[in-house]
Amino acid sequence: MRMPLGLIAALLWGCAAELPAPPPHIAPQWLNTAPDVQVCLATHEVRVQARVCLGEGPLEQVVCAAGTREHEAIFAVAARPSDIHAALLLAGGVPGRPGSWSVNSSNALVAHFPEGTSVEVLATGPDKRLEPVQRLVRALGAQRDATGELRFVFAGSLLIRLNRQPDSPEVYAADLSGSVVGLVTFGDELIACASVMSDSADVQDPAWEVFTERVWPEGSAVTLTLRAIGAADANP
């Protein structure tokens, strides 16, 4: 079953928390909402097909859109970020806003934290191994993974006008930049790291890299599961 993005956005943008939960006796069903994107209302989960695009090196994102930031992300998805946004709305997620940062007069980072429903991000590889993505990320130059240090929120990216002209059409920023699941703060993430990190090495040293020994080989097909945490409480 395919649900058009336009219908989803028109009906659900910003009001996903009002969706009723399915009766408990109905088995969970996955709905195809866009190419490579499925949603399960009963479990408040979205599944997105992806591939491993980076097996080692520093990271600025966990997931990017194909053809954008594969040199700094572990996974790439062919799905449009706006289609993933629409599926998260159906799953009960409530978007907030991306984070941002500035530098004060003392050249110190000032963080403006992202907001939105908490999202658990999981990856299932060809060997059926299920991993929270925090276990696939480690502190730069160390053997300590990011478990307990990273969490993610449904920031929801933002709408921008092309060429900054008031009469130009609005577009979903992450569809242009490819920011799907971020680590550093570009300010346009669909799913943002709850902490704020500058994307400039002149302001803040890079912190994360691929945990190479735990990531599947480059090119491997992977299923990403995005679980909206707390959505069940919003849908009694």
Select from 86, 69, 22 the least CA-distant residue to 181.
69
CB 62 within 8 A of CB 50: no
Select from 199, 195, 187, 111 the least CA-distant residue to 156.
187
Select from 214, 21, 195 the least CA-distant residue to 113.
195
> Identity (one letter) of the amino acid at 208?
W
Number of compact structural domains in the chain: 1
CB 91 within 8 A of CB 40: yes
Ranges of beta strands (E only) in the chain are 30-34, 37-40, 45-52, 61-65, 75-77, 95-97, 100-103, 109-112, 115-116, 118-124, 130-132, 137-139, 152-153, 159-161, 170-172, 179-182, 192-193, 208-210, 221-228
The pLDDT of residue 21: 56
Element (H, E) at 46: strand 45-52
Please name the residue that has the structure tokens 């934290």.
113
Structural domain boundaries, residue 104:
5-234
> Identity (one letter) of the amino acid at 37?
V
C-alpha 99/C-alpha 201 separation (Å) is 18
C-alpha 126/C-alpha 235 separation (Å) is 33
The pLDDT of residue 26: 59
CB 188 within 8 A of CB 179: yes
Select from 132, 177, 123 the least CA-distant residue to 155.
177
Regions in the chain scoring below 70 on pLDDT: 1-27, 232-236
The pLDDT of residue 157: 97
C-alpha 182/C-alpha 195 separation (Å) is 10
Per-residue model confidence as pLDDT tens digits over 48-100: 999 999 999 999 999 999 999 999 999 999 999 999 999 999 999 999 999 98
The pLDDT of residue 5: 47
